[in-house]
Amino acid sequence: MTQSAIPLKSIAGALRPTPGDILVALLTLVLLAGLYSHYWSGIGGEGERARIVSADGEVHLVALNEDRTLTVHGPLGDSVIEIHQGRVRFVESPCQGKQCIHAGWLHSAGSFAACLPNRISITVLGKNRHFDSINY
């Protein structure tokens, strides 16, 4: 019994994309780019207020159009939150990792930062929420 070999040229020719394949790939790329720009690129709108939740569950709603500095008490100590030119951020916090400070300025509706060890969170509120990978 002998096996017949398939010529390499016929395999390479079978793998060549057709014009329809190229069209589907291009349309897919355009659709993905459009979805990305609509949902993930910050088109969600500017924030109007910030909701700051402290460790004891107290909720503070503050306007982002008033520049100020707030001190919020948590179990580890005081966290300092700054509001400036429509943005909000953690400036100081007694936690070790300082991820809350490294989150930087928040300004888009739906943006969120938290100091988990100190149990303080900031959420930017606005008319149109910004979609991120945490939302389902």
Domain span at 68: 1-136
d(CA 104, CA 90): 7
Contact 54, 74 (CB under 8 A): yes
| % of the chain with per-residue pLDDT over 90 | 62
Query: Which pLDDT does position 127 carry in this prediction?
Result: 80
User: Which CATH number do you get for residue 30?
Assistant: 2.60.320.10
Reported as a single tens digit per residue, the pLDDT across 62-89 is: 999 999 999 999 999 999 999 999 999 9
Global confidence as pTM: 0.65
Query: 46 forms bridges with which residues in the sheet?
Result: 108
Reported as a single tens digit per residue, the pLDDT across 14-32 is: 678 899 999 999 999 999 9
- The SS3 call for residue 74 is strand
Reported as a single tens digit per residue, the pLDDT across 99-130 is: 999 999 998 888 899 999 999 999 999 886 65
Q: Number of structural domains, the chain?
A: 1
